[in-house]
Amino acid sequence: MSARRSDSRSITDRADLHTHTTASDGLLRPGQLVALAAQRGLAAIAITDHDTLDGVLEIQALGEVELLVVPGVELSCSQGGEDVHLLGYGIDPAAPVLGDLLRERQDERRARATAIVGRLTELGAAISLERVTAIAGSGTVGRPHIARALVESGHVSTIGEAFDRYLASGRPAYIERPVLTPRRAIPIIHRAGGAAVLAHPLYSPGYVDFLPLLVEAGLDGIEVVYPDHDGATQRQLAALAASYGLVGTGGSDFHADSGRPGRSLGESTVPVGVVEQLEERAARRHDMGSS
């Protein structure tokens, strides 16, 4: 896994393997995220922005950093009508097969943002596409940026209200994205040298039924430690992972310090050894030539 580590202080053996930066909908620049992770004594983080590797590339351009940074990505997929998020770990950011997929998804996201803004205008909650794009900056544009524009313009008072009234699935300004299936995404992660992990399985309640399908498609792991997972849930998911031979991973899904329990950087972690388990899986997939 192309990652960097200096000799220096690794204060704990903990790894937070689910984080976002300004490259998607996080509020910290990649460099700020890494600095905060070092300050919090983490041994490793994975940068897993939605549909982009720009944050990973920004860190790689910095050269040596203070802790292990696993190059990752979070892909929004759909399975049986349910949103399913897949994490790719240890991917090569230069892999053309993944680059092509990410460009396709970025184009679709821009088209979707345009359509949502149009819908909001019809609904009497007009915001400008330019403002949404400015809020997203150079990063992946998503509903969180539209939600921020809605708050700014006074149509709603919180991000949560923006989703509840307009943007969440089933609400009037919800627009679906073209479907990406895990069956398509998982081999692409493998061909880019990575391991594929099911993110926050409880957000996709059908996971118990579709998990065998994903395993057949080459799934390598499942997120066991997550802010919303209590001890009993973690034990259940760890048992499920073991029964399918999957790596149990975990992270905070950090976007910004929101005050929500478990979601601060480093608040939901796994031992750094999990990174090696993922590396082994990815290497095995690569040897098998899973393409």
Q: Which of 50, 105, 155, 200 binds ligand AMP (CB under 6 A)?
A: 50
| Parallel/antiparallel/unpaired status of strands 82-89 and 68-79 | antiparallel
Q: Does 72 bind ligand AMP (CB under 6 A)?
A: no
Q: Does 76 bind ligand AMP (CB under 6 A)?
A: yes
> Nearest to residue 229, comparing CAs of 214, 251, 257?
251
* Residue position matching structure tokens 């993110």: 199
190 and 222 Cβ atoms separated by less than 8 Å:
no
98 and 105 Cβ atoms separated by less than 8 Å:
no
Residues 141-160 contacting Zn ion, CB under 5 A: none
Q: Does 159 bind ligand AMP (CB under 6 A)?
A: yes
> Nearest to residue 110, comparing CAs of 151, 141, 86?
141
Tell me which of Fe ion, Zn ion, ligand AMP, none is bound by residue 15, counting a contact when its beta carbon lies within the kind-specific cut-off of 5 to 8 angstroms.
none
74 and 85 Cβ atoms separated by less than 8 Å:
yes
Least distance in Å: CB of 160 to ligand AMP?
Answer: 5
Q: Which is nearer to ligand AMP, 16 or 25 (CB)?
A: 25
Q: Which is nearer to Zn ion, 4 or 29 (CB)?
A: 29
Least distance in Å: CB of 277 to Zn ion?
Answer: 25
Q: Does 226 bind ligand AMP (CB under 6 A)?
A: no
CA dist 156 and 167 (Å) reads: 12
Q: Which is nearer to Zn ion, 22 or 277 (CB)?
A: 22
Tell me which of Fe ion, ligand AMP, Zn ion, none is bound by residue 155, counting a contact when its beta carbon lies within the kind-specific cut-off of 5 to 8 angstroms.
none
Residues 8-27 contacting Zn ion, CB under 5 A: 20, 25
Q: Which is nearer to ligand AMP, 136 or 278 (CB)?
A: 136
Q: Which is nearer to Fe ion, 90 or 251 (CB)?
A: 251
- The overall longest dimension of the chain from CA atoms, in Å, is 57
Which segments of the chain are extended strands (E)?
14-19, 44-47, 68-79, 82-89, 195-198, 221-225, 247-250, 270-271
| Parallel/antiparallel/unpaired status of strands 14-19 and 270-271 | antiparallel
Q: Phi-psi bin for 204: left (phi > 0), alpha (psi -120 to 50), beta?
A: beta
Q: Which of 55, 75, 163, 185 binds ligand AMP (CB under 6 A)?
A: 163
The stretch among 10-18, 89-97, 157-165, 222-230 that binds ligand AMP (CB under 6 A) is 157-165
Q: Which residues of this chain interact with Zn ion, rule CB under 5 A?
A: 20, 25
Q: Which residues of this chain interact with ligand AMP, rule CB under 6 A?
A: 25, 50, 76, 142-144, 159-160, 163, 168
